[in-house]
Structure 1
Amino acid sequence: MSSPALGEFLRTRRARIQPAAVGLSEYGRRRMVGLRREEVAQLAGMSVDYYTRLERGRDEDFPDSVLDSVARALRLDAAERDHFYTLVRPADPDYNYCPTVRPGTRLLLDSIATPAFVLGRHMEVLAWNAMGDKIFDFAADPEGNLARFTVLHPDAGVFYPDWEPVAAETAAYLRRQVARRPRDRRLTSLIDDLIAGNPVFHRIWSIQSATRNSHGHKLIHHPVVGRIEFGYETLDLPDDQDQVLVVYTVDPNSAASEAIDALRARELVGAH
């Protein structure tokens, strides 16, 4: 069964394409920005009725060839295409979510010298290593949620000096999850809270970004050592489809590496 979010996603993708950009002549009085449904149907080589049933989220088994044609017509990139397919074919709503971190994953975390942690479906922090705790203070809130902190905590804008891109990554992560599990009430409740609690995040959410930020850079202001610019890698965990491993990286001999060394030295001093 298709997600109610499918129609919203397709409408935003229609709105960003002008007819002239795809070789169509503009005709009649246009009361909307972007492509009409009939124009998408024309580009995708299908009837208007058939495309409309797709956009309205009708419970039908749309073949790959149809989805491929619509993706090409709307010029979806790879991340958007994956998101589109997930919206059309969400996962089994009866899937039993059990956010348990495997012992092997915990051993892997402990072997990593830089900050690392595991996130669950709702961006809850399931496990972390020592340096992850030094940076994020996870132990102070062992049931903490990184999305709630990023969007709703009053100090988030200080901790993340470039807050808005971090909030956009948060929105994209949650959008992928809700596309996969549209009937997850805990997930939709979380998103409702974030949207209601922060008007800037509400605007970011409405953009409907499906970008997957699996790697990049993140600037953090730590209360002890000041600003640290990390790289990061986000890795899907095998056999744990609702969990990702996030590893922060630093270049050797960089200011970030010196900051990590300083935090590690404080930890060693405190142990004696």
Structure 2
Amino acid sequence: MTRNDLGDFLRAHRARLRPGDVGLASYGRRRVAGLRREEVAVLAGMNSDYYARLEQGRERSPSPQFLDAISGALRMDHEAHDHLYRLADALPTGHRTQPRETVSPGLIQLLDGYTNTPAFVLNPALDLLAANSLADALFSPFGKADNLARMTFLDPAGRGFYAQWDRTAEAVVSHLRQATGLKPHYPRLHQLVGALTDTSEEFATLWSSHTVYGKTHDTKELIHPDVGPLSLTYQSLDVRGAPGQQAVIYHAEPGSPSSQALSLLGSLNATRRREPASEQ
């Protein structure tokens, strides 16, 4: 079956709007939720047959002018607008570069220099490519700390670890949706999405919503079985020497209970690492 990501994306956004949302009068019986195709075409100032061909995958090279018109008609925000361009392959060809899956020794050394805060490196599919000691300790409740999306949806520890699991799940799916536009030819990403869609009904439902956004900073509310609640902020930084990789650094407010809990977690982790050596 031929994929039609652009059509799926347009239909999902069309379904979210009602005529009253865009200043149109509602008339006739509606067989589907949201706007009709011809209503979107009117709002975008284009031929309704041309718009229908876009949704059906029969037209695959819309001009930037048409994309801007459709984005405005469907009330897309900045990130959805950019994602629309990527799905229509209307961006420069550099986005076909495959992400690097190995982390440079210099970056690993930098991660290890963050002794009091968790730091790790992700690829666009949210695989954990490298992590410092405190990040390993932070993710220790999971059976395997290999991929943040899999850990969220498939590992039983996820629901207890993320205090706001629903919010985390939505953010994970939105990140992956954005990544499919940024890296549409990345096999690992499509393999992961396919596996999660097949095994998690909740993931499949969120994926079908076509919500897209990427965050460079936010707050994480976590519950670690060893040290209790943790309220952490994070920063995501693009690794310029390895396109597609992001370095993520978690941070607790100095002097806060979360900062004290992170210090305790680091001490517990260091003690556990010494114990096997002392027993030999």
Q: TM-score, normalised by structure 2?
A: 0.86
**Partner of 1:205 in structure 2?**
207
1:119 partnered with 2:115: no
The 5 A counterparts of 1:56-75 are: 56-58=56-58, 60-75=60-75
The 5 A counterparts of 1:103-182 are: 103-112=105-114, 113-137=116-140, 141=144, 144-182=146-184
Deviates more, 1:112-121 or 1:67-76: 112-121
**Partner of 2:10 in structure 1?**
10
Work out the percentage of aligned pairs sharing the same amino acid.
38
**How far 1:121 moved relative to its partner?**
2.4
* CA distance 1:267–1:148, shift in 2 (3 Å): closer
Deviates more, 1:216-225 or 1:99-108: 99-108
Calculate the aligned-residue CA RMSD, in Å: 2.6
Deviates more, 1:177-186 or 1:4-13: 177-186
**How far 1:73 moved relative to its partner?**
0.7
Question: How many matched pairs?
Answer: 270
8 Å CA contact retained: 1:119, 1:125: yes
**Partner of 2:39 in structure 1?**
39
**How far 1:161 moved relative to its partner?**
2.5
* CA distance 1:68–1:130, shift in 2 (3 Å): same
Separation in 2 of the partners of 1:207 and 1:214? 22
Q: 2:251 aligns with which of 249, 252, 271?
A: 249
Q: Deviations over 1:163-193 (max 9, x none)?
A: 1211111111211222233444432222122
8 Å CA contact retained: 2:20, 2:26: yes
Q: Deviations over 1:104-123 (max 9, x none)?
A: 32233123231111111221
Q: Deviations over 1:114-141 (max 9, x none)?
A: 1111111221111111211121139985
Separation in 2 of the partners of 1:263 and 1:179? 37
Q: TM-score, normalised by structure 1?
A: 0.88
The one-letter amino acid of 2:75's match is R
The 5 A counterparts of 1:195-234 are: 195-234=197-236
Deviates more, 1:63-72 or 1:233-242: 233-242
**How far 1:255 moved relative to its partner?**
0.7
Q: Secondary structure at the match of 1:8?
A: helix
Q: Secondary structure at the match of 2:75?
A: coil
The one-letter amino acid of 1:8's match is D
8 Å CA contact retained: 1:44, 1:70: yes
Q: Secondary structure at the match of 2:8?
A: helix
Structure 2: give runs of 5+ residues left out of the alignment: none
